[in-house]
Structure 1
Amino acid sequence: MARNKYDVDEKLESEFNMGHVKRLMRYVIPYKKKMVITIVIMLIASVANLIGPYLIKVALDSKIPSKDVTGLIILSLIYLVTVIINGVCLNIKIKSMTDIGQSVILNIRKDLFEHLQKLPFSYYDSRPHGKILVRVVNYVNSLSDLLSNGIINLITDSFSLIVIIVFMFLIDVRLTLIGLVGLPILVGAAFTIKSLQRKAFQILSSKSSNVNAYIHESICGMKVTQSFSREKENLKIFNELSDNYRKAWMHAIKIQFLMGPFVDNIGNLVVVAVYIMGVAWIANGSITIGVLIAFIAYIGRFWGPINNIANTYNAIINNMAYLERIFETMDEEPNVKDLQDAYEMPEIKGLVEFKNVNFCYEDGQRILNDVNFKANKGESIALVGPTGAGKTTIINLISRFYDLESGEVLIDGVNVRDVLLNSLRKQMGIMLQDSFIFAGTIMDNIRYGKLDATDKEVVAAAKVVRAHEFITTLSEGYNTQVNERGSRLSAGQRQLISFARALLADPRILILDEATSSIDTETEMLLQKGLEELLKGRTSFIIAHRLSTIKNSDRIMYIDHGSIVESGSHDELMKYKGEYYDLYMSQYRMLEAI
């Protein structure tokens, strides 16, 4: 797929269907017992709340005319009890549903993050990371109120509506029929607004995603922004994206708020009609004042649940736009995954073989063309060549970060496609040019690949790769806190920590992709002995533009246009005087000039 950018709206691959709601309910089902109890409590509260108008009718039509003070006191006490019951039940409902809602949110976010860790590099290559982040945080959070209140409110308001209609019919059938006239009009309006509202909130979610993508990109590139004085231009872009979000928000809210006034206007018209007919019927003796007052109280409460249901309906439609995005991410199929009959990778010895390997990315451009080679156990293989030749692709295929177009990648004679990904990758060590450092202590970062390692083992690994010297000069040594991406450390220091991390993990196959590029020449000379220890007994693949670092490799392969052009030791290739010879001599002459 073409890379999506911060200024490109995301499009949903599939239309919304009720299956999304059913899928959401699967997250709610584990809490069904607690929800049933809460619903019962709220139904009791609803009945208690609806008894009030009927008590007023009895008081007006019976107790007051007969001057029954004792009866009025009893009615007042019953009314007070209903108010207390309603308050207590409401308090229980708020606590219970908040707990259920947040538990469901926790499980959805956990499943979403777990799935994101299974998606291949190609997924992250195809979209800004800010657009992924907004789904895990903002979109999941948007479901909170719907899950905490919406479901229960929908059930209890529906029940209240039925009970209110029953009470209304018991009081007066004619007034009830007048009160129900506006209901069909309201239902028709709701379905008309639905499609407009869903589309508006889909657009809003896209604009929100764009803003988040640009903020994430800008924060990650802030040093570059300030270095090139790009603040004004970036602010202009941000303001434009924010304005697009504001316009989308205003449009969505305008549609959302159509429902509330519509309900209120229909409710007011119905109440006016009830008043007109009620007063007329009181005049001719058809009904009593108590009946009219009680009925007006019920008709007011009738439109209350209607309004609540309309608001809940609004919330459901609004959140469906976010739910679609969440489930779209969960439904993203990893194109690199364990086969159905995949098995544990046996303990790796170190024999790596490429057989007729062809590979292209999703744009269809061929990267590797019929690559064949064999790396024996414990052999160090250096990959050199121009940028874009296919060097990094080769090492990515060894770890099966991508699947082949054709051919086979074998480790100890086992096809990497046939084994469980986790069992394959945990036996490998990969060090990249941009060594990622996580927020935490240096000790934690080195221990990242082997959580059960002792402090002594961590220190020993750091000493071997010459990281110990600079670590001990820091304020708290190995317990020094480092920021995300290791911003408090130099690029060379980050790479030394990565070397220690790789050594501690003790991988059988080691991949170094420009892993010494940020280390100065003096540090590199000190590191050579550590590297020898790191590479000892391991099959290793080294990508380096600084050819001095790979002179001692067992074999050097010159890659160009996706093919192995030359292969041999440093001395053999120098005698051959081909592409590698030209590359080495150009670097040598450059160093002499300096």
Structure 2
Amino acid sequence: MINLKKIILKYKYKFLLVILLIIIISLINTFLPYIIKQTIALVKSDVVFHDIKQKLFSLVSVYLITTLICAILEFLKSTILAKNTQDLIYDIRKTTYKRIMDFNMDTFSNMHISTLVTRMTSDISNIGEFIGRTLPMFLSSGVFLILVLIVMSFVNIYFAIIMIVSSIFLVVAVLKIGKKMAYYKKREIEITENLNDYFGETFSSIKTTHIFNIQNERRQKFIDYSSAELSMSTKYFDSQSILTPVRSITRYFIISLILYLCLQGKVANIDIGVIYLVVSYIDKFFEPLGNMLYHYEDIQKGKISMHRIDELMGTDENIENIYQGENTEKLYGNIKFSNVSFSYSNKKSILENVNFSINEGERVALIGETGAGKTTIVNLILGFYKINSGNITFDGKNIDDISLESLRKNISFIQQSPYVFNDTIKKNIVVNNENNFSDEKIIDILKLVGLYNKVTNFKNGIYEIVNENSFSKGEKQLLAFARAIAKDTSIYIFDEPTSNIDVKNEQTIKNIISEVLKDSTVIIIAHRPTTIENVDKILKVQNKKVVVKSRKNIVHINNSEKFT
């Protein structure tokens, strides 16, 4: 979980300065109406204007100078708050991002990408605004309310009592209405998140939507989500709209009651200056209350976002420490599964008492029906998940005793649908070791995998900024091969390496596996026999077990090939 207290303490002196400014500004704003009251009293006196001219000038000068000082302090306070807010958002986002990047794969597999994006953007911004702006604003309003009540008690204790009783009534009304507002805002945010997830799903599956002509069905689902969101939003603002008339009625009631008491002579020693002072303080009393009501939505957003971020962060069980364990510089490629059993998140068992071994330098095919567990075995070799029981060893060392950083440094994994980063071609090939690779070496690798001609078409060559749309599926796989060669590891895992490439490039890939990687341990997830020519061993995943087969188990039927 994020330690918000620790992050906030980092800015404690800035917040203390803000609190000091809030107190000074509140004192000045409390003092200003008193200057006007004194001015009115001076003008209403029977003294000749010439005799009071100097005093009037002094009062006006004090008022203007005090107002100017207050404006400067307000500017300083706003600037510090704005800077604090941005720094808070940056720190919280940096801490959250680091935590998320340390999540294990089991945690990621249970999350929607749009949910993570929402948490990292709007939720963290809400928290920053809540802590950096809204809470100081409430503190400022609270301090000013207390000062106004104190001053009012000196002006007239009865007026102060009226304001206190009325404010209690207003607070009770706000809390009662606020409870409904909190519920509506929470539901609105939940529906909005569902809508965001739906947008992500819709735009990711746009081709499927058009192929099956289900645009109308998708639109209807969008309308359902949007209508639900609009309904909750309307209920929230309907509830919020009640607060303004409640505040206005309370304010006018207090003013009317005080004026009535004055006119009826119920309160002694009241002149026009005092009445102005009282009405002015009433207005100033309700101004911060108005700010509180106006920013009530920010409080709800901040509280909900803090809860959602805490929920996202989870516990330390979700964290994967890649540096824990032995720092092994080189793994030679001897892999052994001994009585390994595994299931995802304690659900249906995927593997039960699996036993097999892969020796250094062997080329092994991993076959089986869709969903049999081939990808699961690869995920376990990469340390993405912890096994339920049994042992996995590399060169005789238990996988739990080897740091994940060392493990993954020694394994190259070529995915069926590799990702292209929004970066240069060079950075997409060497990923995390760019400084150790010359341009000439990168070009040699591109020629080797058959991507050189493609890259020469780019204006900036290997320094061209590319993205997911810059390459076809087949070219992405060739790029993934280039990454694997550049990484230069002792273990290579290929997920159907030739599924998206043409015959010419398929032969190129086979040659790379046979010649360039001949001294490495190679594991190939395969769905067709042509992918695994010249392998040393076949591991077939079936019925939650792994059966070791030889190449003679590939049979030919009706000019097509299949595994038995």
TM-score range, shorter chain: over 0.9
Q: CA deviation at 1:546?
A: 2.4
- Which stretch has the larger CA shift, 490-499 or 217-226? 217-226
Instruction: Out of 197-206 and 465-474, give the one that drifted further.
Output: 465-474
Whether 1:376 and 2:371 are equivalent positions in the alignment is no
Match of 2:35 in 1: 55
Q: Which amino acid letter does the alignment assign opposite residue 553 of structure 1?
A: V
Identity of counterpart residues, as a percentage? 27
Q: Which amino acid aligns with 1:472?
A: T
SS in 2 for 1:134: helix
The one-letter amino acid paired with 1:359 is F
Aligned: 1:548 with 2:521: no
Compute the displacement of 1:384 (Å).
Answer: 1.1
Q: CA deviation at 1:336?
A: 6.4
1:499 match: 481
Seen in structure 2, the aligned counterparts of structure 1 residues 404 and 591 have a Cα distance that, compared at 3 Å, is closer
Please, which moves more after superposition, 513-522 or 122-131? 122-131
Structure 2 CA distance, aligned partners of 1:411 and 1:229? 50
Q: Quick one: which of 509, 512, 527 aligns to 2:509?
A: 527
Q: Which of 96, 99, 106 is the equivalent residue of 1:115?
A: 99
- Equivalent-residue separation in structure 1 for 2:419 and 2:351 (angstroms): 27
Does 2:83 correspond to 1:99? yes
What displacement does 1:507 show?
2.1
* 1:381-400 matches, cutoff 5 A: 381-400=364-383
Q: Which residue does the alignment assign to 1:302? A: 285
**Which residue matches 2:193?**
209
Q: Give the aligned partner of residue 262 of structure 2.
A: 278
Given residue 308 of structure 1, which amino acid in structure 2 is its aligned partner?
N
Which residue does 1:31 correspond to in 2? 11
1:241-284 Cα distance to aligned partner (Å, 9 max, x none) = 122221122222333444443333222211221121122238x7
> How far did residue 365 of structure 1 move?
1.5
Counterpart contact for 2:107–2:318, Cα < 8 Å: no
Q: Which residue of 2 aligns with 1:125?
A: 109
- Deviation at 1:536? 2.9
For the pair 1:561 / 2:543, whether they are aligned, the reply is yes
Q: How far off is 1:406 after superposition? A: 0.9
Aligned-pair RMSD on alpha carbons? 2.4
Matched residue type, 1:189: A
Are residues 566 and 508 of structure 1, via their aligned partners in 2, closer, same or farther at CA, if it must alter by over 3 Å?
A: closer
1:281 match: secondary structure: coil
Q: For 1:336 and 1:151, how far apart are their aligned partners in 2?
A: 32
- Tell me which amino acid in the other structure corresponds to 1:479: Y
Amino acid at match of 1:494: K
Q: Indicate if the aligned counterparts of 1:63 and 1:69 stay in contact, CA closer than 8 A.
A: no
What is the CA-CA distance between 1:108 and the residue it aligns to?
A: 1.4
Partner AA of 2:100 in structure 1: L
Please, which runs of 5 or more residues in structure 2 have no aligned partner?
none
Mapping for residues 246-395 of structure 1, pairs under 5 Å: 246-281=230-265, 285-335=268-318, 337-338=320-321, 342-362=325-345, 364-395=347-378
C-alpha separation between the residues in 2 aligned to 1:425 and 1:51? 68
Q: In the TM superposition, what whole-angstrom CA distance separates every residue of 1:549-591 from its partner, at most 9, and x where no partner exists?
A: 21211211122122123423x2xxx1xxxxx434xx24x7138
Find the aligned partners of 1:242 and 1:497 in 2 and give their Cα distance: 41
Task: Describe the SS at the equivalent of 2:185.
Answer: helix
The alpha-carbon distance between structure 1 residues 179 and 532, as it changes in their structure 2 partners (threshold 3 A), is: same
Q: For 1:362, what is the secondary structure of its paired residue?
A: helix
Structure 1: tracts of 5 or more residues without a match: 1-18, 575-579
TM-score, normalised to structure 1, is 0.88
Bigger mean CA deviation after superposition, 369-378 or 226-235: 226-235
Change (3 A) 1:459 1:288: same
| Paired position in structure 2 for 1:581 | 554
1:490 maps to 2:472: yes
Of stretches 327-336 and 85-94 in structure 1, the one that deviates more from structure 2 is 327-336
Please say if residues 449 and 501 of structure 1, whose CA atoms lie closer than 8 Å, have aligned partners that are also in contact: no
Q: How far is 1:64 from its partner?
A: 4.1
Per-residue Cα deviation, 1:12-68 (whole angstroms, up to 9, x for no partner): xxxxxxx99xx5343222112122222222322222222121011111223541331
Structure 1 CA distance for aligned equivalents of residues 530 and 344 of structure 2:
32
**AA of the residue aligned to 2:336:** E
Partner in structure 2 of residue 9 of structure 1: none
Q: Secondary structure at the match of 1:101?
A: helix
Decide which of 500, 508, 511 is 2:490's aligned counterpart.
Answer: 508
Shift of 1:461: 2.2
How big is the shift at 1:495? Answer: 0.5
Distance 2:101 2:388 in 1: 23
Query: What one-letter code is carried by the residue in structure 1 that aligns with 2:486?
Result: L
2:217 paired residue number: 233
- How many Å apart are 1:312 and its aligned residue? 4.4
Q: 1:381 to 1:258 in 2, by over 3 A?
A: farther
Q: Give the deviation of 1:188 after TM superposition.
A: 2.3
Change (3 A) 1:261 1:487: same
Residues 145 and 285, structure 2, Cα contact 8 Å, conserved in 1? yes
Alpha-carbon distance in 2 for matches of 1:367, 1:182: 66
Shift of residue 432, structure 1, vs aligned partner: 1.0
Secondary structure of the 1:487 match is helix
